[in-house]
Amino acid sequence: MQDESKKNLGLERVKKWLYAKDLNARSSGCVLCGSCYGHGPANPMEDVPGPKEKCPPYEFYRFQRHTPKSRWLMAQRVFHGLDPITPELKEIVYSCTTCLMCQELCGVRADGYGPWDITVAMREQITEEEGPIAAHRHLYQGLQQHDNPWSQTRAERGFWADGLGLAKIAERHAPTLLFAGCSADQPSGRAGVVALAKLMQNAGEDFVILGDQEKCCGLHAYDLGFRREYERLQQENLDAVTQGGVRRLVVACGSCRRIWREHAKVGAVGLEVLHGVEYLEAALRAGQLKISKPIRKKVTYHDSCHLGRGCGIYEAPRTVLRAIPGVEVVEMTRNQRWAWCCGGGGGVPEADPNLAQWSATDRMREAKETGAELVLTSSALCQRSFNALEQPALPTQDLIEFVGQAV
Residues near ligand SF4, by CB under 6 A: 30-36, 45, 54-57, 68-69, 72, 96-102, 105-106, 108, 115-116, 119
Question: Which residue lies nearer to ligand SF4 by CB, 119 or 152?
Answer: 119
> What is the CA 164 to chain-centroid distance, rounded?
27
Cβ count near 92 (within 10 Å) = 21
R_g (Cα) of the chain, nearest Å: 21
In the bound complex, what is the minimum distance in angstroms from residue 299's beta carbon to ligand SF4? 26
Question: Which residue lies nearer to ligand SF4 by CB, 31 or 164?
Answer: 31
Question: Which residue lies nearer to ligand SF4 by CB, 108 or 364?
Answer: 108
DSSP letter string, 192-254: HHHHHHHHHHHTT--EEE-GGG----SHHHHHTT-HHHHHHHHHHHHHHHHHTT--EEEESSH
Reported as type and span, the H/E element at residue 301 is: strand 297-301
Task: In whole angstroms, give the CA distance from residue 64 to residue 56.
Answer: 13
In the bound complex, what is the minimum distance in angstroms from residue 158's beta carbon to ligand SF4? 32
Give 329's strand partners. Answer: 299
Cβ-count burial 354-376 (b if 16+ within 10 Å, e if not): ebbbebbbbbbebbbebebebbb
Question: Which residue lies nearer to ligand SF4 by CB, 50 or 56?
Answer: 56
Q: Helix (H, G, I), strand (E, B), or coil: what is residue 73?
A: helix
Torsion of CA 392, 393, 399, 401, to 10 degrees: 60
Question: Which residue lies nearer to ligand SF4 by CB, 140 or 338?
Answer: 338
Q: Helix (H, G, I), strand (E, B), or coil: what is residue 176?
A: strand
Task: In whole angstroms, give the CA distance from residue 222 to residue 37.
Answer: 22
Question: Which residue lies nearer to ligand SF4 by CB, 64 or 242?
Answer: 64
Question: Which residue lies nearer to ligand SF4 by CB, 56 or 189?
Answer: 56
In the bound complex, what is the minimum distance in angstroms from residue 155's beta carbon to ligand SF4? 36
In the bound complex, what is the minimum distance in angstroms from residue 209's beta carbon to ligand SF4? 32
Q: Helix (H, G, I), strand (E, B), or coil: what is residue 274?
A: strand
In the bound complex, what is the minimum distance in angstroms from residue 101's beta carbon to ligand SF4? 4
In the bound complex, what is the minimum distance in angstroms from residue 345's beta carbon to ligand SF4? 8
In the bound complex, what is the minimum distance in angstroms from residue 185's beta carbon to ligand SF4? 28
**63 vs 10, 12, 37, 84, CA distance in Å?**
25, 28, 12, 21
DSSP letter assigned to residue 168: B
Question: Which residue lies nearer to ligand SF4 by CB, 213 or 357?
Answer: 357
In the bound complex, what is the minimum distance in angstroms from residue 163's beta carbon to ligand SF4? 40
